[in-house]
Homo-oligomer: A and B are copies of this chain.
C-alpha cells in the first residue's frame, strides 16, 4: 500500500557508487544524489535515516566481492589469508569508497559475512573465543588500515605509482649517511616491489605471530 516507490535502497546505493566513482567521494552529497536520481534530495530520507547510514550501505556494497563461502579443501590459514587478500582487493578496487568502511564496521550484510567467515576459519584453526577475537581484531585492523593507506596510490596508473616509490626510495637514499646510518643501510630495499607484495609479507608475519599465541 501507499504510493508506488520510484526509489529504493538499491537504486540509491548504485547511484551513489556511480556518483562517487565519477565525481569523487566529496561530491557524495544528498543534493548531488538527488540530481543523479532525478528526484528531490530529501526523498532519500524516506529510505535512509541519515547520511551516515547511507555511507555505511555504500561501504558494505563493494564488500560483496569477497567470496566468503567455505572451501572444504582449504586450510584455515590459507582461507584467512585469502579472505584478507580479497577484502584488501575489494577496498583497493574502489579507493574512493574505501573511506566508508575505514572508521567503523558497517555491521551490514556483507561485513557480517566476512566477519563470520574469518571467525569460522580461526575456530577451525583452534583459536578459542578470546584469542579468536584478538586475532580477528588484528587481522581486520591490519587489512583495512593498510588498504586505507594504499588506496590512494593504488588508484594511480602503474607508471605514476612506480615513480612515487622511486621518489621515496631516492629521498631516503639522499639522506646524509652519518646522520641517518640505519636508513642509509636499508634505503635501497625500502618501498621496493609492489604494495600487494609488502602486504602479503606482513600478513604472513602477522599470521605466524597469531598462530604462536593461539590460546
Contact = CB atoms under 8 A, between A and B. Distances in A.
Interface residues of A, number: 67
Nearest to A120: B182
A147 B112 CA distance: 22
26 contacts: A99-B102, A101-B149, A101-B151, A103-B149, A107-B168, A116-B182, A116-B183, A122-B182, A129-B189, A132-B185, A133-B190, A134-B201, A134-B205, A138-B201, A141-B146, A141-B149, A141-B199, A145-B146, A145-B148, A145-B149, A148-B149, A204-B213, A207-B209, A208-B209, A208-B213, A209-B210
A130 interface: yes
A186 B198 CA distance: 30
A150 B4 CA distance: 42
A164 B137 CA distance: 16
Total identical chains: 2
A148 B101 contact: yes
Interface string A184-215: 01101111100000110110111111101100
Interface in A102-116: 102-107, 112, 115-116
Contact of A209 (B146, B191, B204): B204
A122 B152 CA distance: 28
Nearest to A209: B209
A147 B102 CA distance: 11
A202 B141 contact: yes
A48 interface: no
A180 interface: yes
Contacts of A101: 148-149, 151-152
